Each structure stands twice: as structure tokens, then as C-alpha cells.
Structure 1
Amino acid sequence: MTDEPATNISGGQSGGSRSRLFESGADAPTTPAEMVVDRLGERYWQKTYGGQDAFECLIRTILSQNTSDAASQPAHDALMDRYGDGGLATALANADHSVLAETISSAGLQNQKSKTIIRIATRVREEYGDTEAFDSFVRDGSYDDVRDALLDMKGVGPKTADCVLLFASGHDGVFPVDTHVHRIYRRLGIAPPDGDHEAVRAVLEETIPAAKCGFGHTASIQFGREYCTARKPACLDGPEACPLGDICDRVGVNPDSGEVVDPADAPTDTE
């Protein structure tokens, strides 16, 4: 397993207040996607999720956009050191843009992210009054109401909203789709090769039992980092080099030639 910070967007050893061990269950998986999640869950992940403070989780996820945990975690820690002593939403709404940008610079895109954070913090303070009220809304509100409210915030996309729903609300049946998940399940042949992030999410949430989606998300990310990388997937060394080699269609990967393309650009049988 590759190294990652002890505390990160998916909870880490100290993240969340609820701990649920992965259980593949006595029954055989009923779909290829569930088979993948069972196999990856047994290999990787016994993870905590749910119970994080929603607003902090939202800010942490924004910091993680277009970068790695190793880069975003120090930015989160520096932000909390500077702004986290009182009401976080109020402190960030009143933050000086240049100071906040410097504080979170390790996450990259700091000017854009600092503007997004200040804008969202201002909205949270205006609409909910304080961080605690926003946290309560995310924790206790319905899935649809919370997801719609998050997606209505400029700078919050489906993956960010779903991470908050999973790691703060602890909703079962939520499978956030990041770049790893998007790549892996199209490569496997489970999702359409030209499917966008929302299309992949729909397939996974429809074909994986709700209680396994959280583990599926985090385990898939780890698998993408270690085996199913964008440019040099392990299957280039043969199907036996990958723990999913026997159930993968390898869409866009040609072990014979070593060519790797996005699944959407892979040749079809009719070409």
C-alpha cells in the first residue's frame, strides 16, 4: 500500500466518529462492480467515514481538488492553525484573500481556491448563521436537499458534494467519483468508456450495495494509485500483475503494444 497522510479527505485513522469494518458478506456478489469492491475491500480498506464536521470537510475537499492528499493536507493544517480557533466560516468569510492564498499555497491553485473558500464561507455564514448550523443541516438533512444545496455553491462540483455527503453525513449509497474512480471503472468495462463523472457515478451507485459504496470509493482510489495508474497500469506487465486482471476488460490498454489511451479513445471492435 502506498503511503498517505494519517488524516486525509477520506478520514484516515483519526477521521470521523463512526468506524465500520469492511465486510464482503456471505452472499456472492451480484454484479461485476460489487465483485470489484469486495476484492479491493479485502485487499485494502478498513476505514472510518461519516461524522466529520461538514464545513471543515467541505473546505478540505476544495483544497484537495486537482492535487494529491500529500499536497492538500499541509494546506488544510495551515488553514486550521490560522483560522480554526473560533467560528471557521466567519473567520474564512473575513479572511484577507492574499493571506489565505499564501496559507494554502501547498495545495496549488491557491488564488482560485482562496476565492472559492471565502465565497462559500460568506454564503454559509449568511444562509446558515454559523458553522454549527451548517454542520447540522448536512448531518440531518435529506440526501437530495443537502446535495442540491452543495451543488448550488459556485466551486462545488459533484465529487466535492458527494465527499461531504459520505465523510460528513455518512450516507450509504454515495460513491464519489474522482479521476481514479472515473478511469478505473471505465477501464474495467463496468462503466461506459465515454461516460462522464456523473455517468460513472450512476452506474456504481446502481450496481453496488449502498453499504459498500464508501469502502468502494476509498479502496478504488488506493487501487488507482498503486496498480491502475493513468499512464503505466500494472497490467502492462501481464494480467497476473494486477489483482483485478482476471475480471478487467482493459479498455484503452494494450499490453502487447504498451499503448495506453483514455477508454473513450479506445478502438472498438468495429474499427
Structure 2
Amino acid sequence: MSDDPEPSINISGGESGGGVTAEFDPATADTRAERVIDRLGELYWQKTYGGRDAFTCLVRTILSQNTSDKASQPAHDALLARYGAGPNRDATAETESEAGVPGLAESLAAADRSELAETISSAGLYNQKSEILVATAEWILEEFGSARAFDAFVKDESPSEVRETLLSVRGVGPKTADCVLLFAGGRGGVFPVDTHVHRIYRRMGIAPADADHEVVRTVLEQEVPAEKCGFGHTATIQFGREYCTARTPACLEDPDACPMGDVCDQVGVYPETDEVIDPADAVD
């Protein structure tokens, strides 16, 4: 396993993002998907997730939509600096959530949208995201009464009910809902699918080449043990950034440059012609 810690600038929050060390052994893997995850465990950190405040996690994930962690992290930090303690509040006082950021839901529900948009501008789509954040904070307070009650809902109710409830909220898609279930709820068997996960497991041939995000999620949650799904999500993203990029995967120039080369079908990658296409377009 790499001595490098999990990056702190990502949705999971790195070393401070909750969770505990897990064990990964490729020799005992039952499926190719599990073998890939176990190999990632040798390459990167080894961790399961859970324990983050649900509303704070939801806010962080909304900010990350359609942008990189590098761009969304400053927006997240700026948002907490401006709205974290709530209007006219003592930041050390007990408010909605002891585990989360004091007063954040109330602050965002009452926020001026133009001011909020300016605060999160580094995250991209800031006008749209500011509207979604205000509306989501209002929904939390109306539906649950407090961020603390929402946090309890995410951690205590069935994953299917939590997911269905979150998906009913404007601006919350499957990946966002699953990230809340994973990083806040600590639910095993949840494998959020972002653009990296969607690309990589179709390129590897583990999921059908023409599978949408939900089909990829279903395949991975069936073939990867529940306790390894959360790590699989974050480590696959890191692997996608370092090796299996969208346009220039490591195997394109050197088949031996990728640590997953022997378990990958390279669907849509053609080193002979220096061509890379979406796996779905490679299906005859």
C-alpha cells in the first residue's frame, strides 16, 4: 500500500473525512471487480467511510457537481467561512447539528443568492448551485426541522428510503445521494458513480460498454463486497486522474505503465492508431 495519505481535497475529506482502515487482498477476490478494488488498495490508501455530518456532506457534494475537487474545495471553504456560524450566532453554541457546522442550514436558507453565488464562484455553475443550496437548506428545515434531524435520518433510516428521499430534491442526482449515504451514513454497499467510475469500469470490460451510470452502479454493487464499495469509489477516481484518464490513458503509449493492465479489456483504447473513444462507441 502507498504511504501517501488520501488526498484532503476531495469529497471524502481525506484523512479527516471519517471512516476506518480496511483490509484488501487481491488473492482472495471472488470477482474481477473485487480484484481491481483490492489492487487499488495496494496502490493507494485503504479505508471505509462514514461519520460526516449529512447536511455539510450534501452541500459539499452539490458544490462538486460538474467540476473538479480542486475548483470546488475553495468554494466549500469560502462557504463555510461566510455561512458556517449562522447569522448573529455564536459559532461555539449548540445549534442544529453538534457533528456538523453550527447554523449552516439556517444561514443558507436565509442567504442572499447573489452573495452566495459570489462566494462559491470557483465551483462553476455558481448561479445554479446557489439556488439549489438555498432551496435545499429550506427543504431540510421544512422537512426535518433541523440539520441534526436530517443527519439522524441519513444514518438511521433504510438506504433505499434515504436515497429515494434525496432524489426527490431538485439538484440531487444519484451520485450526490450516494455520496451522502456513503460519507455521512457510512452505508456499506454504496458505490457512487461519477464520470471516472463510469468510464473506467466500462473501459475495463467489467460493466457493459453501453451501460449508463445506474447500470454501472448496479454491476459494481453486485460484484464488490459491501465494505469495499466506498473505497472503490474514491480510489477509482484517484486512479482515473493518475492513470486511466479520459483522453490519454497510460496504456495508450505503454501497456506496462498501467497497474491494472492485466485485468483491463481496454475497450475503446487503440494504441495501434493512438485513438481513444468512449467504450459505447467501440461496440460493433
TM class, shorter-chain normalised?
A: over 0.9
Between the aligned partners of 2:187 and 2:147, the Cα distance in structure 1 is: 20
Q: CA deviation at 1:3?
A: 10
8 Å Cα contact 1:5-1:70 kept in structure 2: no
Map of 1:189 onto structure 2: 205
| Mapped pair 1:208 → 2:210 | no
Within 5 A, what are the aligned runs for 1:72-91?
A: 72-86=72-86, 87-91=103-107
Matched, 1:15 2:17: yes
**Matching residue within 127, 133, 148 for 1:132:** 148
Cα deviation for residue 7 of structure 1 reads 4.6
Letter in 1 for 2:189: G
Structure 1's 260 and 27: CA in aligned 2 closer, same or farther, altered over 3 A?
Answer: closer
Of stretches 235-244 and 194-203 in structure 1, the one that deviates more from structure 2 is 235-244
The answer on whether the counterparts of 1:5 and 1:73 sit within 8 Å (CA) in structure 2 is: no
Stretch moving more, 149-158 or 7-16 = 7-16
Could you say which residue in structure 1 is the equivalent of 2:39? 39
Aligned-pair CA distance for 1:141: 1.2
Alignment root-mean-square deviation, CA: 1.7
Q: Please identify, of 36-45 and 2-11, the stretch whose mean Cα deviation from structure 2 is larger.
A: 2-11
Aligned length: 266
| Aligned partners of 1:7 and 1:13 also within 8 Å | no
Fraction of identical pairs, as percent? 68
Return the offset for 1:25: 4.2
- Post-superposition offset of 1:44: 0.7
Taking the aligned partners of 2:17 and 2:27, their CA distance within structure 1 comes to: 30
Contact 2:83 2:104 in 1 (8 A): yes
Preserved contact between residue 6 and residue 15 of structure 2 (Cα < 8 Å): no
Once the 2 structures are TM-superposed, how far is the Cα of residue 142 of structure 1 from its aligned partner?
Answer: 1.1
Shift of 1:239: 1.8
| Range that drifts further, 129-138 or 7-16 | 7-16
The equivalences for 1:77-156 within 5 A come to: 77-86=77-86, 87-156=103-172
Deviation digits for residues 37-93 of structure 1, max 9, x if unmatched?
010111112346200000000000000001111111110011011111142111111
The residue number in structure 2 matching 1:174 is 190
TM-score computed with the length of structure 1 as normaliser: 0.94
Gapped regions of structure 2 (runs ≥ 5): 87-102
Per the TM alignment, residue 26 of structure 1 is displaced from its structure 2 partner at its CA by 8.2
The answer for unaligned runs of 5 or more in structure 1 is: none
Partner Cα separation in structure 2 for residue 62 and residue 180 of structure 1: 17
Instruction: Tell me the amino acid that sits aligned with residue 15 of structure 1.
Output: G
Corresponding residue for 2:30? 30
Secondary structure of the residue aligned to 1:213 is helix
* Cα deviation 1:135-154 (Å, max 9, x = unaligned): 11111111111111110101
Alpha-carbon separation, structure 2, partners of 1:191 and 1:123: 36
**CA distance 1:4–1:41, shift in 2 (3 Å):** closer
Question: How do 1:252-263 residues align onto structure 2 when only pairs under 5 Å count?
Answer: 252-263=268-279
How far apart in 2 are the matches of 1:55 and 1:267?
A: 41
- One-letter code of the match for 2:253? D
- Poorly superposed stretches of 4+, deviation over 4 Å: 1-5
Instruction: Say whether 1:163 aligns with 2:165.
Output: no
When normalised by structure 2's length, the TM-score is 0.90
Distance 2:26 2:260 in 1: 20
Please state whether the residue corresponding to 1:13 is helix, strand or coil: helix
- Provide the secondary structure at the position in 2 that maps to 1:40: helix
